[in-house]
Amino acid sequence: MKQKKQIIVFGAGNEGKLFKRMIDGKCSGLEDIEVIYYCDNHTVAGNYVEGIKTISAYQLNRLEKYDIYICASKHLDEIMTQLYKMKVKNRIYFVPEYTYKFMYNAEMPFAIKMDISKPRMPYLECKIVDFCNLNCKGCSAYANICEKTWMDIDKFEEDCNQLKKLFSGIGTFKLFGGEPLLHPELEKFIVIARKKFPDSNLQIHSNGILIGKCSENLMKECRNNDVEFVFTLYPETGKVKRNIEQILAKHNIRYNFTPPVYEFRKAINKKGDWNAEEVYKNCCKCINLFDGNVACGMPFLIEALEKKYDVKICDNVRCNTVNIYTTDMNGWQINKLLDSPYHLCSYCAFMRFNVLEDGYYYSWTNGVPKLSDWILE
């Protein structure tokens, strides 16, 4: 009888338990695997889970002959950093969420080999369409003042290849706009993003109004590449919400809606006089990929407004922007830079939730854009 490959499952929660049950059930591709230990940061070593002994992470350096399969998608970045600092020599694999969803779809690998010599980028947004089918005043993606242009697919693939040289993966990879459903080659972006970053939570952020006009091929690629749609629930989106739900349920595609959006808040404190560190405490760390550069979205918004309205909002806008092609920093250093407050935080009104100034909030509406839609004087 062929000897089974013995592995350590890192993660004794629901995902780790389900993965073992899939192995016990001899799911396709898993017949020759056997779980010998669970490893978990939140379970006492020596306890048993699903009849398997649990060990601490500190014991891994004495168990180098066993491959480690990470089954804890919400804690992947944390675990990868932990294993890197421990300098483990085991081969590392990650079991993505789609493995459990499909109970293993043989068209996609049930586990992905990981490289702990490079960090993961926790989150990245890529604006693939500059314009939108709505015309929201004060659009945070400034789509209502952009030309009708979209990202070139070859440029996207080139940027993804460069990112792979710096990072072992991306936690959540968000394709947005403008309105991404307006891109004529959206299917290709999905396929490339999933191929380059197979372990990412791949999302498309949309207002959803055009979902009924999407091709069958786009729906197929979304399903096959485990894409999640996230719809911003504007008043106009609410009118077609039921239709969106029916279409995506029919195609077995994941989706979520944000809470209803009835008002916008101004994006920029023109005075730049807020405490950067205090503002940063509320930061959602929405790192953008823009023309080969990564940074929070604020410098790109400021540049767009300055260009459109021929004004000067602040100096040194690109100081914390990293060009992924010319930087001499490694991925760890880039993550550290992007995860730090800097002077543009003093201008950021997005994350300043306790602002009470008159005119900071205003009702969602369409209309001709004005600089004052974004600027808090």
Rounded CA separation 119/229 (Å): 26
pLDDT by position in tens, the chain (length 377)? 568 899 999 999 999 999 999 888 877 778 889 999 999 999 889 999 999 999 999 999 999 999 999 999 889 888 998 999 999 999 999 998 877 765 545 456 788 889 888 888 989 999 999 999 999 988 989 999 999 999 999 999 999 999 999 999 998 999 999 999 999 999 999 999 999 998 899 999 999 999 999 999 999 999 999 999 999 999 999 999 999 999 999 999 999 999 999 988 888 988 898 898 888 888 878 899 999 999 999 999 999 999 999 999 988 888 889 999 999 999 989 998 998 888 899 998 876 555 555 557 788 888 889 999 999 87
> What DSSP string describes 305-316?
HHHHHT----S-
Beta-carbon contacts of 306 under 8 Å, excluding residues fewer than 6 positions away, are 312, 313
CA 301 to chain centre: 20
**How many Cβ atoms from other residues are within 10 Å of residue 53's Cβ?**
12
**How many Cβ atoms from other residues are within 10 Å of residue 25's Cβ?**
11
3-class DSSP assignment, residue 202 = strand
- For residues 69 and 29, the answer to whether their CB atoms sit within 8 Å is no
Rounded CA separation 178/205 (Å): 9
| Strands in the chain per DSSP E | 5-10, 33-39, 48-49, 52-55, 67-70, 92-94, 112-114, 120-127, 169-176, 201-206, 228-231, 254-257, 263-265, 268-269, 287-290, 293-296, 322-323, 361-363, 375-376
- For residues 226 and 73, the answer to whether their CB atoms sit within 8 Å is no
Alpha helices in the chain (DSSP H): 14-24, 76-86, 97-101, 153-166, 186-196, 216-224, 235-238, 241-250, 276-280, 298-309, 331-338
Domains within the chain, CATH numbers bracketed: 5-114 (3.40.50.720), 120-376 (3.20.20)
For residue 317, which of 288, 297, 332, 335 has the smallest C-alpha distance? Answer: 297
